[in-house]
Structure 1
Amino acid sequence: MRILLQGGTIINEGRTFKGDLLIHNDRIEKIIEGELDSVPGDIKVIDATGKYVIPGVIDDQVHFREPGLTHKGDIREGSRAAAAGGVTSFMDMPNVKPPTVTNELLREKQQIAKENAAVNYSFYLGATVDNIDEIKKVDPHTTCGIKIFMGSSTGNMLVDSREALEKIFAESPILIATHCEDSPTIDRNLELYKQQYGEGIPPFCHPLIRNRECCYTSSSLAAELARKHNSRLHILHLSTKEELELLDQGPRTQKHITGEVCVHHLWFNDQAYHTKGNLVKWNPAIKTEEDRQALLQALNDNRLDIIATDHAPHLPEEKAGVYTKSASGGPMVQHSLTVMLELMEKGQITLENIVDKMCHAPADIFHVEERGYLREGYKADIAIFEKHPWTVKKENLLYKCGWSPLEDMSFTYRVSMTLVNGQIVYDHGKINDDVRGEMLTFY
């Protein structure tokens, strides 16, 4: 099968140009600046005139909730929402039931995705205080990373023992991704606010309880251990300006310590707690406007490496109620590219930089094979979007949880088509449920 994406504006590797893109089966056969001289009759032509063509987004942090928590999300539903947002590959987290802390459980999740995922997939192996043998046996060719919850987790997935952390950083054969929040700091702050408010703590206290000290204490420990053991460390969902100094500088392919920022930390600031309450309760917490601006600036000067979502759906009733009982996290994978394009429209980031941080950088940092770029011979994972104002409403959400913190917000751009391995999986509001993604592989 051959497809020609004709007449679009291609954004790739820092360049923007009008051109055609020829796909043969699952790969990009040719990129043509300008127009193809003649189009053979056996080629399906898709008119991309007036539209933008980019590599598919790679989201390095989602929680699709399968197995065990499928009342609020699952791999089929999450991957369909991803496709509608121009996301062609995801890396899913291990805090499910049972937690993905053995290689056998990792293989079981891979099989679920093989049968159900509409886009490409990979899964983290979760670290515990005592599963170093499982970590050492992980397959580097098929596993995106080792996930350490250095705070903000329960059960044996909370790794706050210095001895256990030293072993993991010393012996992990692949990239380590960390959730960095210091539990003792959180516990101490929570008690102070309980004394003041009882159980009725207002949502605006969230970034004061899970404060910048809580984040920096933990992320600086991760950076210290990575430098001591020469580990590859990726610090997830950075939320404060102070943490940016912990990252390595220079070309990202030479960095050992890299960082991710999530869309919600770039879109919202702490004033959102006053209007949206627990709906914008994430861990780490959304911080100040100064932090938001610092994170954007760090993206623009290449100190910060990847933009992702931390997509983490909960049912409305799990988000409701008092602060201490409300779940942290929210759905975002269907709208991450849309939100970033709106920030571009506001002049806060360039289109080329969005593509760099959402498509190219995840491929580079995680060593994803043959994806993340529009290159001849690479897999044909492609997102097409256009300037077409629209509003996020309940009726156009693809989330099982049925809500979004962006509801009733209007955006300038929408994703019109998504291709995964050369197959059209999303086309102007419709999902092709026959398409299945492939397992990501890593070099």
Structure 2
Amino acid sequence: MFETILAGGIVVTAKGESRADVAINGGKITALLSPGESAAAREAVDVNGCYLLPGLVDAHAHLRQPGLTDKEDFASGTHAAALGGVTTVLDMPTDKPWTATSDHLRTKIQLATGRIHVDVGFQVVASTDLSLLEEFAELGPVSCEVFTADVPARYRFESIEEVATALRHVGRNRMLAGLSPGDQSILRAQERLPNSGDVAAFLASRPPLAEANGIARAVLAAAATGVATHIRQINSAFGVDTWRRLRDTADLSVETTPQNLFFDSTAYETQGAALKASPPFRSAEDVEALREAVRAGLIDIMATDHAPHTPAEKAATYAAFADIPGGMPGLQTLLQAMIRLVDEKLITLSDVARMCAANPARRFGLGQRKGSIAPGHDADIVVIDRRQPDVVRNQTQVSRAGYTPFDGWQIGASLRHVFLRGEEIVRGGQLTGMPTGVVVAGVF
């Protein structure tokens, strides 16, 4: 006898769709049964006509704890994730302090335990003291971030030799390297020029050239060292073209965010501070180039870069646009934004399962248990109803940011249920119980 059967749904994987009943035991998917196949279960959940996707894995999120909990914390951030169908959050290391030592990581694990509504994996950061990476082995971080620009000097690797050296240490300690493409020399050059402080000045400080050069440097360093490397969000035509030409050179993957597919730089005229982040939104031509890359399957992972700030911080007056705290919320709207792309026929639901579940799980060392509706995997399952549309609203957002850039958007599906390791954690847009998430470790 099975503990639970989800009956009557359409199972979506990275490879396609099929009708099947999903049988669950002990938090794991035990079997995919033919529709109507006789099977006994203690609980049968009717999901007739609904689509079942693997729980989403957000590979790029900032939960802000420790040190920045006025912006977000483990409880509020994972609450938002659960309501958005994200059952695994991979937390970035840029908190206060940055997660640069094993003690920092142990503290985060302790703080998360008992407070998280979904599963969380932790990402650490390389500092100029690369010997510290040796301490992380037993703690199972899902990546080690190597920054090249726009961060404090202690965490910055500017030259290709510095990047290659950092990658060697990351690889030696059996971790995936995450790399944000940028160019500190361009930032320095901009600092020496007259600065109007407006949006145009901010865009000029982070041009497509900086992104493309950062991608090329990451690719060449990965090829020279043989270290698996994941390139963080790209959003320019120049960056996409550079990625297309070089992507087969090494063990590489790349991500972008949903917002980069919807907004161009003209959106700053209406939404301003709410959309300020890095990389900045670019031209309509850049957006179209990125959309074409997604359509062609050139983008491996769709992540959110969930980076909330308080409403007061975003609403304050600043001397320059560049001074506005950068980042916006995204965990609660990842699934909705992806469905919007399905509605627009840019992608399919299988593409959502691929870019938001299977690929990030596999790339970040969680592929044996996350990212797929398949026997042996954790029963992390999102149930959506394409017969019932929905509307994104600021009023329903639970992140401490208190808003979404997608407010008012029509979405061609509603979220019915979210299951985490076989237990229903969301029903009808509400949490169903206390936090049951656990910290997960990457296996490489």
Pairs within 5 Å for 1:392-411: 392-411=392-411
Residues 272 and 108 (structure 1), Cα distance of their counterparts in 2 relative to 1, 3 Å cut? same
Residues 280-289 or 151-160, more deviating: 151-160
Match of 1:214 in 2: 210
Residues 427-436 or 329-338, more deviating: 427-436
Aligned pair partner of 2:351 in 350, 353, 359? 353
SS state at 1:4 partner: strand
Q: Is the 8 A contact 1:150 1:159 kept in 2?
A: yes
Give me the whole-angstrom Cα distance separating, in 2, the residues matched to 1:10 and 1:392.
Answer: 25
Match of 2:279 in 1: 284
Q: CA RMSD in A?
A: 2.2
Give me the whole-angstrom Cα distance separating, in 1, the residues matched to 2:62 and 2:354.
Answer: 23
Pairs within 5 Å for 1:24-423: 24-38=25-39, 40=40, 42-130=41-129, 132-139=130-137, 142-154=140-152, 156-160=154-158, 164-172=162-170, 173-189=174-190, 192=193, 194=195, 197=196, 199=197, 201=198, 203=199, 205-247=201-243, 256-320=251-315, 321-322=317-318, 323-368=321-366, 369-387=368-386, 388-423=388-423
Q: Which runs of 4+ in 1 moved over 6 A?
A: 248-252
Q: Is the 8 A contact 1:249 1:255 kept in 2?
A: no
Residues 296-305 or 418-427, more deviating: 296-305
Give me the whole-angstrom Cα distance separating, in 2, the residues matched to 1:158 and 1:118.
Answer: 33
Give me the whole-angstrom Cα distance separating, in 2, the residues matched to 1:157 and 1:73.
Answer: 23
Q: Is the 8 A contact 1:206 1:281 kept in 2?
A: no
Q: Is the 8 A contact 2:216 2:246 kept in 1?
A: no
Residues 205-214 or 172-181, more deviating: 205-214
Give me the whole-angstrom Cα distance separating, in 2, the residues matched to 1:399 and 1:226.
Answer: 36
Q: Is the 8 A contact 1:300 1:353 kept in 2?
A: no
Give me the whole-angstrom Cα distance separating, in 1, the residues matched to 2:160 and 2:265.
Answer: 32
Unaligned runs of 5+ in 1: none
Residues 141 and 128 (structure 1), Cα distance of their counterparts in 2 relative to 1, 3 Å cut? closer
Give me the whole-angstrom Cα distance separating, in 2, the residues matched to 1:385 and 1:305.
Answer: 23
Could you report, residue by residue, the CA deviation over 1:114-147 in whole angstroms, capped at 9, with x for unpaired residues?
Answer: 22111111111111122x1121332277210101
Task: Give the letter aligned to residue 38 of structure 2.
Answer: D
Residues 203-212 or 46-55, more deviating: 203-212
Task: Give the letter aligned to residue 286 of structure 1.
Answer: F
Q: Normalized against structure 1, the TM-score is what?
A: 0.92
Residues 365 and 255 (structure 1), Cα distance of their counterparts in 2 relative to 1, 3 Å cut? farther
Residues 251 and 163 (structure 1), Cα distance of their counterparts in 2 relative to 1, 3 Å cut? closer
Q: Is the 8 A contact 1:238 1:260 kept in 2?
A: yes
Could you report, residue by residue, the CA deviation over 1:82-141 in whole angstroms, capped at 9, with x for unpaired residues?
Answer: 0111101011111111111001111211222222111111111111122x1121332277
Aligned-residue offset at 1:295: 2.1
Aligned-residue offset at 1:390: 2.5
Give me the whole-angstrom Cα distance separating, in 2, the residues matched to 1:98 and 1:191.
Answer: 30
Aligned-residue offset at 1:255: 5.7
SS state at 1:2 partner: strand
SS state at 1:116 partner: coil
Q: Is the 8 A contact 1:265 1:286 kept in 2?
A: yes
Give me the whole-angstrom Cα distance separating, in 1, the residues matched to 2:277 and 2:303.
Answer: 14
Aligned-residue offset at 1:156: 2.1
Could you report, residue by residue, the CA deviation over 1:344-384 in whole angstroms, capped at 9, with x for unpaired residues?
Answer: 11111111111111111112222313111111111111111
Give me the whole-angstrom Cα distance separating, in 2, the residues matched to 1:409 and 1:8.
Answer: 26
Give me the whole-angstrom Cα distance separating, in 2, the residues matched to 1:50 and 1:366.
Answer: 32
Aligned-residue offset at 1:315: 1.2
Give me the whole-angstrom Cα distance separating, in 2, the residues matched to 1:250 and 1:156.
Answer: 29
Residues 250 and 18 (structure 1), Cα distance of their counterparts in 2 relative to 1, 3 Å cut? farther
Residues 205 and 385 (structure 1), Cα distance of their counterparts in 2 relative to 1, 3 Å cut? farther
Give me the whole-angstrom Cα distance separating, in 2, the residues matched to 1:245 and 1:301.
Answer: 13
Task: Give the letter aligned to residue 14 of structure 2.
Answer: E
Unaligned runs of 5+ in 2: none
Aligned-residue offset at 1:160: 2.5
Give me the whole-angstrom Cα distance separating, in 1, the residues matched to 2:154 and 2:243.
Answer: 28
Aligned-residue offset at 1:33: 2.9
Residues 241 and 140 (structure 1), Cα distance of their counterparts in 2 relative to 1, 3 Å cut? farther
SS state at 1:5 partner: strand
Give me the whole-angstrom Cα distance separating, in 2, the residues matched to 1:204 and 1:341.
Answer: 32
